Amino acid sequence: MDKALLIKELNEANDTALLIETIISIAQTNDFDENVVKSLCELITHNDSGVRDVAVRALCDLKGDLARLAAQIIAPNIVSPNIELRNTAGDILAHLGEASAEFLLDYLENPDPDARKFACDLLGLINTRHLAHKIHPLLDDPDENVVQSAIETLGNYQDESIIEKLVKIYNTKEDQKPNVIEALGKIGSRKAIDFLIFALTDEKDDFLKTEIIDALSINCDDIEVARQLFSKIDEVSETIQIIILKTVAAISFRLGEEFVLPDYLRYLAYKALFDDDDDIRAAGLIALGNVFIKDDIPSIMNEIFKGNSDTQSFVLEKLLKYNSPEIIKEFFKAFYNEIINRAMIGCDIDFLSLLTYLWEDTPTSNKNVVIDVIFDNLIICKSIECSSVVELLFKLDSQKSIIKVKELYQNSDDNNREFIEELLSDAGIDISIIKI
């Protein structure tokens, strides 16, 4: 039976269940023709939501000439006073893509600004860059919502030809500044970036400065942009400095470039490491570089005790690979002070177990100091809950651990000797090794 006729009869008979089943079957077998498409277009206003949904899904999957036919029929609905119908039409047209474009162009000149804006929005979603010149006139539209839509659409098109026009809008229309900034970031050309860098120091509003920094990061695949951005750090407030830090660190990390704050700005990394934003704290860590100084450690500890294993591993790898034995001692001394102050004795193993994955690449001198300083602090903690750490250290380097425990045992009073024996026993280690 003719599929379009069947749809019509089922619709007239109000047999929604069979109508839905029939539409699904047509879509699954791709059994479309012009009449079926016309029938489906009529069903997007059906009073049953199930029928509407399957009709819309079927229309969205159309290709070629049938997609163009559907777009031609559906397009007039974007000016419907029925908001639900208008949005449904928009969804279908966006899914049909390029096939919809030619039927949207006339609406760019519609007397209704909502229609102009909606058509422009849809063309932006469809991303038909070759039609950019059709959008250009809307940059001078009397309705600011239409202007905003045109800016966003042309930004999505990465249309470099409008940069001068966007700069003019930026300088004359305060409310459009955030939209211009985002569009320039998406365009991402040298000219667009140069203006954004200039605007960063010229602009007085911190919100807009933040928008500019975010825009500079959108398409950034050039470390020079990050360096240009960082060069402005002394010219902005501390709040904006932190955002620059976050952005430059992210760009540098993404491009595999090292980024280290100069000493006089190291305090920004410390402030970042106490921020609530995960990305800002990560930027603070990156900005400290590979080599830590003693003053870094309190801020690093704050991040360590956030409990993020990826961040913990990142810190521990740098500590073990690139830092001196003196800094390693200071680090673990601070770590165990935090363990004691936070009443977390026994939880140290959660962090220290990461040593297993990093031990092989750790320099021998640093391996020795790690074992020394951890054992020294276990004696200070004096808790049997630390036995899992003892077991870990013996697995990492049993010979060095034996030497260290013997030394501690020989230099201890009776109380500490009793604790060491209990600790070893609880870790499953023969206590005779310390008495030989």
Reduce the DSSP state of residue 259 to 3 states and report it. Answer: coil
pLDDT for 419: 86
pLDDT for 431: 84
Alpha-carbon span 95 to 67, nearest angstrom: 10
- Quote the Cα angle for 284-252-358, to 5°: 65
- Burial class of residue 14 in the structure, from the number of CB atoms within 10 Å of its CB (0-12 exposed, 13-18 middle, 19+ buried): exposed
pLDDT for 124: 92
Question: In this prediction, what percent of the chain has a pLDDT beyond 90?
Answer: 65
Q: What are phi and psi of 221, to 5 degrees?
A: -125, 25
Q: What phi-psi label fits residue 333: left (phi over 0), alpha (psi between -120 and 50 degrees) or beta?
A: alpha
359-399 pLDDT, tens digit each = 999 999 999 999 999 999 988 888 778 889 889 999 999 99
189-242 pLDDT, tens digit each = 999 999 999 999 889 999 999 999 999 887 777 888 888 889 999 988 899 999
pLDDT for 253: 85
- Cα distances from 331 to residues 290, 337, 370, in angstroms, run 14, 10, 10
pLDDT at 436 over 70: no
pLDDT for 343: 84
